[in-house]
């Protein structure tokens, strides 16, 4: 970024805190509608950051988040002063989304993008039975589990971490394939896969053991087959204050402080 004027657009969560921050910043700094802005400033938590990245998917529009939510792992500290200078000094993190391709039990096809993870979950008391393929080769004939997820490095500290999946450095050329409450095989803890791999999960007996598929916040139910791979044609750009980029935050997360 240069020192020239930067056109800013604001988005905010509907919470009172975020709306108060929006009113404060809007009074301090000239702004334009987010669709016309060079940089979008998102006021909220990690959920808003994901929503904003999805909203501008395919535009490579930088998003600078300031924490006015409950978690804020992806966000910068909220300070109303010096916003233009902070934007000028910010560091870029670029990630790519997973493209999920779904075929349901009726034979209909659906697609959706995931920034964090693609997950598959059982819909009833019956455990899911899943067959795992990597680049067209069956690697796991039958997984009996509550489900499975495929996480990007960006999303490895989210749902993936909560089901004991590995944390991946942001620039690692890897995807994490992690079972959710695996029953068989008991000792299978998942796999680290090349980031260019295409992963296909077939549901065994989807009528008896129905399974849903979720790409971040988009869900399809009663699925028969799900494939996913990174879409390198799409750049998602986040801005962070120097010394507080995603690479540093992921390292901090691994050491538990």
What pLDDT is recorded for position 171? 85
Catalytic residues: 46
Instruction: Note whether 43 and 78 are within 8 A (CB).
Output: yes
Domain boundaries, the chain: 8-96+234-255, 98-230
Q: What is the CATH T-level fold of the domain 8-96+234-255, as seen in this structure? A: Rossmann fold (3.40.50)
DSSP 176-190: EEEEEEEEESTT---
Q: Which helix (H) or strand (E) holds 51?
A: helix 46-55
Binding residue per annotation — 124? no
Q: pLDDT averaged over consecutive 10-residue blocks of the chain (257 residues)?
A: 73 96 97 97 95 95 93 88 95 95 97 98 97 98 98 94 93 95 93 97 96 97 98 96 74 66
Binding residue per annotation — 207? no
What pLDDT is recorded for position 72? 74
Query: Tens digits of per-residue pLDDT, 214-244?
Result: 999 999 999 999 999 999 999 999 999 997 7
Q: What is the CATH T-level fold of the domain 98-230, as seen in this structure? A: Tumour Suppressor Smad4 (2.60.200)
Binding residue per annotation — 162? yes
Binding residue per annotation — 245? no
């Amino acid at each position: 970024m240069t020192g020239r004027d930067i056109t800013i657009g604001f988005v905010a969560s509907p919470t009172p805190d975020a709306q108060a921050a929006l009113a404060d910043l809007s009074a301090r700094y000239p702004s334009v509608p987010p669709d016309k802005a060079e940089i979008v400033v998102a006021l909220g938590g990690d959920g808003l950051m994901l929503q904003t990245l999805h909203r501008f998917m395919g535009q490579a529009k930088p998003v600078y988040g300031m924490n006015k939510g409950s978690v804020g792992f992806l966000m910068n500290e909220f300070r109303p002063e010096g916003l233009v200078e902070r934007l000028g000094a910010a560091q870029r993190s670029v990630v790519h989304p997973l493209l999920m391709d779904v075929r349901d039990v009726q034979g209909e096809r659906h697609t959706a993008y995931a920034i964090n993870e693609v997950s598959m979950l059982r819909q009833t008391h019956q455990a899911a039975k899943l067959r795992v393929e990597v680049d067209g080769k069956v690697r796991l004939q039958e997984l009996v589990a509550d489900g499975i997820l495929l996480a990007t490095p960006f999303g490895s500290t989210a749902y993936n971490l909560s089901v004991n999946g590995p944390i991946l450095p942001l620039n690692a050329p890897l995807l994490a394939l992690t079972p959710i409450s695996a029953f068989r095989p008991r000792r299978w803890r998942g796999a680290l896969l090349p980031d260019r791999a295409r992963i296909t999960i077939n549901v065994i007996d989807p009528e008896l053991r129905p399974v849903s598929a979720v790409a971040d916040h988009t869900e399809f139910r009663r699925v028969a087959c799900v494939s996913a791979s990174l879409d390198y044609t799409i750049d998602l750009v986040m801005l962070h204050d120097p010394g507080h980029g995603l690479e540093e935050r992921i390292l901090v997360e691994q050491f538990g402080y």
